Structure 1
């Protein structure tokens, strides 16, 4: 009875929980909330936790399997365990009746009733104990999912979906991170590398701001993403992975050292960034020119003559 009372107390919302729920515009639902999956897994892996929550096996061991399954069925909301509890209760009642008749009759059949009552009682006890041991793993999985705190229901007002992430903002942050990386490892990078990275930033930073104002087109976004998230950080990362002596003295098949190769690649990215900037502005100017030709054709004097 104390265990049932404690389980009810676990499901009763505390004052602090009700106040927190009211402050958030939420309501408290009776019944245990579901524990996070990682907590459930950690509980089931713990031998100490499994042993501490298998105490109920003592109840069928004492000859009361109906009480054990009634508790588990109500606590875990398993109707089949409640039905099993009723079956064990009827069987134990039949065994008690048989023993009572055997002890109370004087017709010569008392031995038969004693044997039948004993067999029914022993069989019910053994079956209930085996059934309890088999059901313990399922009960532990159910018990592991309980948090012991009442669940908080979501507010009745519909939740506002989060705004989609702005890809240009992500590219702006990625460009700042590349510049921070170059500044942080300036002592490892060859002469001319950090200035080249900053020169790329000087070109792409206003270009990204311009694209963010008017909206990026697919091809523009693809080219900007390739430079900011792949080509520029990739060149720095590949170089910084090399030992300093190797990067400065070893000759590649091209005849250049890795340090010279890095500076060449960064200069190519500077030129590529400027070409991309020019292409974006040319595209905007072309759209303006197209609109000018349209307006010229639409509002020529001959079209306005009555």
Structure 2
């Protein structure tokens, strides 16, 4: 048990090591680090090293295979060896129980319990010793990979959640895409359609930049989204879905052709964009006026007179 305690103490990082690792931006964790492959190979070829690290075989030889496998399973992090330790412990307990009953009973079955207990104990001892000898090579490979120094790990940086998407920047990109669509299909669109789309862009592009600087209010953002993502691209898409001859010659119930209807809708969007621009600036001016009245009421000269 003292050897187990000393091995755990060897794995505990010293204060100096923790300070040095902190200076390098690394983290010290408990447990041995992996040795370099050349060191592992040199250890396994050394008979002296193999003999010095096979001392644990004395434990099952003394009749305690469960203790040996418990030590190896915990040190080498092998659950199978821990389970084997539990099995040997149960078997040794059964052997001790049989011997105890054989020595304590006076019913005529003492010899039977003594024989069963002795056979179970001897079998457990022999099986544990053979099992230990077979497992020693695996244990030595595990032990050879230990450097005896605490492992150093790079600090784990917490994941930074992505910044929420800016709705105004999305509208700016959507407006650019609508203009690209109009330019790309300029030959299909009627006269006056592409200039109207560009007029809408000339109004909304600086308006979106202004709103992005000071922050968009809910109603403003709703109106901008309606024009940029619904009304303007929708008018172009519906027109481009029509056959060219039909769009230019067919008369709608209103008496207009689809081409004329598209130009009318685009002109309405130009006027609506200008109205929205005016409303945004009027709102900003109103806030400035409200602040001016507040300042006038708070700092007018009559209030400052002594």
TM-score by length of 1: 0.53
CA deviations over 1:113-156 (Å, ceiling 9, x no partner): 99999999999999999999999999999999999999999961
Stretch deviating more after TM superposition (53-62 or 235-244):
53-62
Question: In the TM superposition, what is the alpha-carbon distance from 1:263 to its structure 2 partner?
Answer: 0.5
Give distance in 1, aligned partners of 2:229 and 2:39.
37
Question: In the TM superposition, what is the alpha-carbon distance from 1:291 to its structure 2 partner?
Answer: 0.6
Stretch deviating more after TM superposition (65-74 or 159-168):
65-74
Question: In the TM superposition, what is the alpha-carbon distance from 1:160 to its structure 2 partner?
Answer: 2.2
CA pair 263-295 structure 1, distance change in 2 beyond 3 A? same
Give distance in 2, aligned partners of 1:51 and 1:271.
94
Stretch deviating more after TM superposition (283-292 or 98-107):
98-107
SS for the counterpart of 1:148 is: strand
CA pair 289-110 structure 1, distance change in 2 beyond 3 A? closer
User: Paired residue for 1:31?
Assistant: 31
SS for the counterpart of 1:150 is: strand
CA pair 213-29 structure 1, distance change in 2 beyond 3 A? same
CA pair 189-291 structure 1, distance change in 2 beyond 3 A? same
CA pair 115-302 structure 1, distance change in 2 beyond 3 A? closer
Give distance in 1, aligned partners of 2:134 and 2:234.
57
CA pair 297-13 structure 1, distance change in 2 beyond 3 A? closer
Give distance in 2, aligned partners of 1:62 and 1:230.
86
Give distance in 2, aligned partners of 1:275 and 1:232.
16
Which is greater in Rg? Answer: 2
Give distance in 1, aligned partners of 2:80 and 2:227.
63
Give distance in 2, aligned partners of 1:256 and 1:55.
101
CA pair 53-175 structure 1, distance change in 2 beyond 3 A? farther
Gaps of 5+ in 1: none
Question: In the TM superposition, what is the alpha-carbon distance from 1:161 to its structure 2 partner?
Answer: 2.0
CA pair 238-276 structure 1, distance change in 2 beyond 3 A? same
CA pair 110-24 structure 1, distance change in 2 beyond 3 A? same
Question: In the TM superposition, what is the alpha-carbon distance from 1:96 to its structure 2 partner?
Answer: 28
CA pair 20-260 structure 1, distance change in 2 beyond 3 A? farther
CA pair 3-204 structure 1, distance change in 2 beyond 3 A? farther
CA deviations over 1:218-275 (Å, ceiling 9, x no partner): 1101100110011000100111111111111111111111111111100000000000
CA deviations over 1:156-191 (Å, ceiling 9, x no partner): 122222221111111111100000000000000001
Question: In the TM superposition, what is the alpha-carbon distance from 1:87 to its structure 2 partner?
Answer: 13
Give distance in 2, aligned partners of 1:56 and 1:191.
95
CA pair 162-152 structure 1, distance change in 2 beyond 3 A? farther
CA pair 20-178 structure 1, distance change in 2 beyond 3 A? farther
The CA RMSD measured in Å over matched residues stands at: 11.8
Stretch deviating more after TM superposition (212-221 or 150-159):
150-159
Give distance in 1, aligned partners of 2:73 and 2:157.
35
Give distance in 2, aligned partners of 1:42 and 1:225.
71
Give distance in 1, aligned partners of 2:232 and 2:190.
15
Give distance in 2, aligned partners of 1:99 and 1:84.
23
Give distance in 2, aligned partners of 1:55 and 1:188.
90
Stretch deviating more after TM superposition (139-148 or 186-195):
139-148
User: Paired residue for 1:7?
Assistant: 7
